[in-house]
Amino acid sequence: MDFNHAMNEALKQRKYDKLAGRIFDWREWLKERAMELLTRLLESISIDFSALFKPGSNGWINDWIRVLRLAGIILLVIVFVRLALYIIKRVKQRNKASKGIFEGIDKEGSTAAGLLESSARLAAGGYPRDAVRYGLAAILLALDRKKIYRLNYTKTNGQIIRELRYKAPFIIPALSSIVDVFNIVWFGHRNLTVNQFNKYWQDASILVAEVEAYKNE
């Protein structure tokens, strides 16, 4: 394997996406556009700064109006950029949190039954958080395979439940209980007793069976 080929193979790794230009850096793009806008504004507004502190000079009032107008525009640009960066940050956080359920899971090569089996093994091995994660993943995968609800990594569990109230209301009570347990263990870092997990697993298994038996109209 020659050097160029080895380098190309290495750059295919996800950690080098930004370096290889596969990820668009919105933060830098916004900052650059904001600086360009401010530069054009400064170039287009003619202000005699030496006259600002000389009341009575020609154009003194007009210069102050221009300064205040420029300050207002700059403030609006700053607010817009900060708001845009905040929204981008929240979207990325939501994506990361949502993908966490299927992290390390081969969605295309997995089955709901296989994920439930993995859930039981993880619980027996002392990994309760991953055990409940695989249980919920089994349900979401079953919903996706039956085309009841397509997986969308940008949606939270709460959003999924709200949307399913209209698409498949029959699963809402059971799914809500399962999500409640998942949240307690995954986000609350609380452990389940053997009986509690067995009930969670059985409820998840029953719900998967109901979803797979569902006939789309």
Tens digits of residue pLDDT in 26-43 = 667 777 777 777 777 666
Do 209 and 142 lie in one domain? The reply is yes
191 or 47, which is more confident: 191
Residues 46, 27 share a domain: yes
Q: Are residues 204 and 120 in the same domain?
A: yes
Instruction: Provide the pLDDT for residue 203.
Output: 95
Q: Say whether both 91 and 108 belong to one domain.
A: no
Residue 56 — pLDDT band, cuts 50, 70, 90? Answer: low
Instruction: Print the domain residue range for 158.
Output: 104-213
What mean pLDDT value characterizes the chain? 77
pLDDT at 16 over 50: no
Examine the pLDDT at 124 and tell me if it is beyond 90.
yes
CATH number assigned to the domain comprising residue 113: 1.20.120
Residue 92 shares a structural domain with residue 112: no
Q: Which domain-ending residue is among 70, 101, 132?
A: 101
Do 133 and 91 fall into the same domain? no
Domain-ending residue, one of 66, 101, 136: 101
Q: Of 63-67, 181-185, 199-203, 208-212, which range is least confident?
A: 63-67
Residue 5 within a domain: no
Work out the pLDDT band at 77, boundaries 50, 70, 90.
confident
Is residue 201 in a domain? yes
Average pLDDT over residues 163-192: 89
Model confidence pTM above 0.75:
no
Instruction: Work out how many domains the chain is built from and give that number.
Output: 2
Q: Which residue among 75, 101, 127 closes a domain? A: 101
Q: How far apart are CA 130 and CA 123, in angstroms?
A: 8
Is residue 159 over pLDDT 50? yes
> Does 63 fall in a domain?
yes
Task: Check whether 95 has a pLDDT greater than 70.
Answer: no
State yes or no: pLDDT of 108 exceeds 50: yes
Instruction: Judge if 209 and 196 occupy the same domain.
Output: yes
Which position has the higher pLDDT, 68 or 158? 158
Q: Which band of pLDDT confidence, cut at 50, 70 and 90, is reported for residue 9?
A: low
Task: Let me know if residue 8 belongs to a domain.
Answer: no
For residue 166, being part of any structural domain is answered with yes
117 and 97, same domain (yes or no): no
